[in-house]
Chain A
Amino acid sequence: MNKNQKSESFFTRTIQLLLQNKLAVLGGAMVLTVFVLSIFAPLIAPYDPSAIDIKNILMGPTLSHPLGTDELGRDVFSRMLWGGRISLEVGFIAVGIATLIGIMLGSLAGYYGGWIDSIVMRSVDVMLSIPTIFLVLTVIAILEPSIINIMIVIGLTSWMEPARLVRAEFISLREREFVLAAHAMGGTDTRIMMKHILPNGLSPIFVSATMGIGGAILIESALSFLGLGVQPPTPSWGSLLSSGKDNIEIAWWLSAFPGLAILITVLGYNLLGEGLRDALDPRQRE
């Protein structure tokens, strides 16, 4: 009971601090709007996203097609709603993979130190010295571009920041009294790492994961732009943008709106993440 009460007060305090921060509220609203629109895409979308209508190709925004139609007469608004699902999926799962790897490697390195720490940190240095885009491009060229592979590759190339953050938390927490007490009571290493240290060091992970979702959506769109992302006809914001770019001179709406959706979503996650950082880190507060 006591334990629950304490964790709830921490949670409600963070939420209260977030609500006081106008930029974080703005970011949260953007994230929530995009999230709801994507979840309910099947209900909201006015047209079937893959319904071809040859009589109405490349139509500008009108009342019946609020964001226009593409070169096959498909409704851009409906395709963007469905595309949002794919883009968000890529963002969430890629960040999930990166965070999981980061937590595993970071906690091992921070808890045990010594040669394990050396190996993990040198691997981080290696990964940070090679341009991510090279690794992503090469691996996608090997694996074939599919949604699953893109999630995996983005995840495998962005675990370094969470790993560093978790390691730093473990180093600062592993000598604290409550951890020593857990040792004295005979807790196993795994139990101490997962049950005692990790829950107390999660704050920076939340911040980096929130901003990471935006980053992953941007990488997906860049990959699609280079022709290696989500493949048409499956709509993701990146693939819509990349197929729209060929018609930019006669149909600007095909490129403008999907890019705007990416901008709004990524901005939302970044503002929310920044607000979360402020709320969780008392040092930056006045």
Chain B
Amino acid sequence: MSVEKKSSELYGLMAEFADEASLLAAAEKALAEGFTKTDAFSPVPIHGLAAAVGFPKTHVAAFTLIGGLTGGAFGFGLASWVSAVAYPINFGGRPLMSIPAFIPPTFECTILFAGLATAFGMLFLNGFPHPYHPVFNVERFKLASSEGFFLVIESADPKFQLEGTTSFLKGLNARGVYEVKP
């Protein structure tokens, strides 16, 4: 069938909306309609939009926790190993394991590792760097980083049909519906 053949040549369909509220409403309707492979693009983070495109949980905090625990263990381990094992010196009669003095480096390493894990974890989960993406093929998509609001339904979605999905998107008060080349 010609529609199916055509749809496999597309990454999906993109609809442009006027503002935050209409994009959020559209994404929620697409979710209710049963679309699963959707994504929304907006120049500002919109509360609830990620949930509306079926995104469950960020998992970024897990990176922070693991990074922080690793950093703390590293910092304390380094300070105690250096001071008590690798290079023990009597420093004004203080014990080799001068735990209070090891707290500042332990603390700093905790923050450092947790921070790096958070930032790189976020980039990793988001799949960055990711220089090419089909959505960039739409000329109007340039506006997503300044004033445009977009919803994409991928052709890989089981419910995707070129004509049906186009008219569904048009029915959501979209300003325009564009085909996204792969």
Q: Do A and B come from one complex?
A: no
